[in-house]
């Protein structure tokens, strides 16, 4: 994706979604040096830079120079209609990698220290010794070797966990990982068979929908599965089967294919599963401001931002 032409950027309107708070909007105005409006302020022939969570259909036009998403995932944006040709798409990552890394480690340690069982015993006023487990020396397979997956791997490695990343292409080196293997390879299956923990940070694309299917779950041989990526990357019926037959020991699901999950949603009935309501990597206002500022600096210097999304691949 190429950055917008400087002349067009110089006269572009800054538009924001209603969901953005006033402090964020004021910060965007300071960064760009222009007042912010809303979609109703768009005019024919006038270029637009839009910041928000959704892109109004009326702005999916050649006038759109750049859309900066306040979210890390852009699958819903790209699925809701054809992306305007030539328009730059960037996203907000902020400190999401750190947050998801802490989330992952927190649930791993909770399981290793029998926290759910101790909590249940406390509620029953029972005193029984329960076993604990060291996470150091275990293996975690992290699907997704990008910014978020790398942050997860780095924190786990600091705790003595061996980390194997799974990516579209194998790599000799990747920050945070002891090794990276190719998705769908014999090396991935071997890694899954040895894993104590399997973590997903995958985005949702045409290639990752229902990525975690029956064969992958069967290959895990008793690993705990943590999904902090996208819900639709998991075949939920296959996960249910794996939980019942023991190939998946436990599941921690921050995301589901259909959200929000109502009281009758079948996911609530999955055995040995915790659902955390898409809260592992909540984006803070400061993340939006910081990442937009970095992208703005790149664009005004004629460079494609590091947070640019390949709209063909979806990430």
Model-level pTM?
A: 0.89
Q: 237 phi and psi, to 5 degrees?
A: -65, -40
Helices then strands, counting H and E runs in the chain, come out as 10, 12
Q: What is the DSSP string of 169-215?
A: S-BS--TT-SEEEETTSHHHHHHHHH-SEEEE-PPP-TTTTT-B-HH
- Name residues of the chain where pLDDT drops below 50: none
Which residues are designated catalytic?
230, 259, 278
Q: What token pair was written down for 273?
A: 């599963």
Tokens 């999955």 correspond to 270
CB-CB contact of 64 with 90 (8 Å): no
Q: How far apart are CA 219 and CA 137, in angstroms?
A: 20
Distance CA 279, CA 106 (A): 13
pLDDT score, position 123: 96
**Which pair of tokens denotes residue 194?**
């040895």
What is the model's pLDDT at position 305?
96
């Amino acid at each position: 994706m190429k950055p917008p032409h400087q002349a067009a950027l110089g006269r572009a309107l800054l538009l924001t979604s209603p969901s953005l708070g006033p402090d964020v909007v004021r910060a965007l105005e300071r960064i760009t040096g222009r007042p912010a409006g809303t979609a109703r302020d768009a005019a024919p022939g006038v270029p637009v830079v839009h910041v928000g969570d959704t892109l109004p259909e009326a702005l999916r036009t050649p006038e759109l120079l750049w859309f900066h998403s306040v979210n890390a995932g852009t699958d819903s944006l790209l699925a809701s209609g054809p992306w305007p040709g030539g328009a730059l798409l960037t996203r907000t990552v902020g400190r999401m990698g750190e947050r998801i890394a802490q989330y992952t480690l927190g649930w791993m340690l909770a399981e290793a220290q029998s926290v759910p069982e101790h909590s249940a015993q406390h509620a029953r006023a029972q005193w029984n010794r329960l076993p604990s487990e060291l996470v150091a020396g275990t293996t975690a397979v992290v699907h997704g070797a990008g910014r978020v997956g790398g942050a997860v791997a780095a924190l786990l490695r600091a705790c003595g966990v061996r980390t194997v990343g799974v990516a579209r292409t194998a790599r000799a080196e990747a920050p945070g990982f002891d090794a990276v293997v190719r998705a769908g390879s014999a090396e991935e299956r071997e890694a899954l068979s040895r894993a104590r923990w399997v973590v997903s940070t995958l985005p949702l694309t045409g290639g990752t929908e229902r990525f975690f299917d029956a064969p992958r779950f069967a290959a895990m041989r008793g690993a705990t599965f943590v999904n902090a990526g996208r819900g639709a990357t998991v075949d939920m019926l296959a996960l249910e089967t794996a939980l019942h037959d023991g190939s998946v020991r436990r599941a921690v699901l921050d995301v589901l294919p259909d959200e929000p999950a109502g009281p009758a949603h079948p996911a609530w009935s999955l055995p040995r599963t915790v659902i955390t309501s898409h809260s592992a990597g909540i984006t803070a206002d400061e993340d939006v401001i910081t990442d937009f500022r970095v992208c703005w600096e790149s664009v005004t210097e004629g460079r494609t931002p590091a947070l640019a999304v390949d709209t063909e691949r979806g990430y």
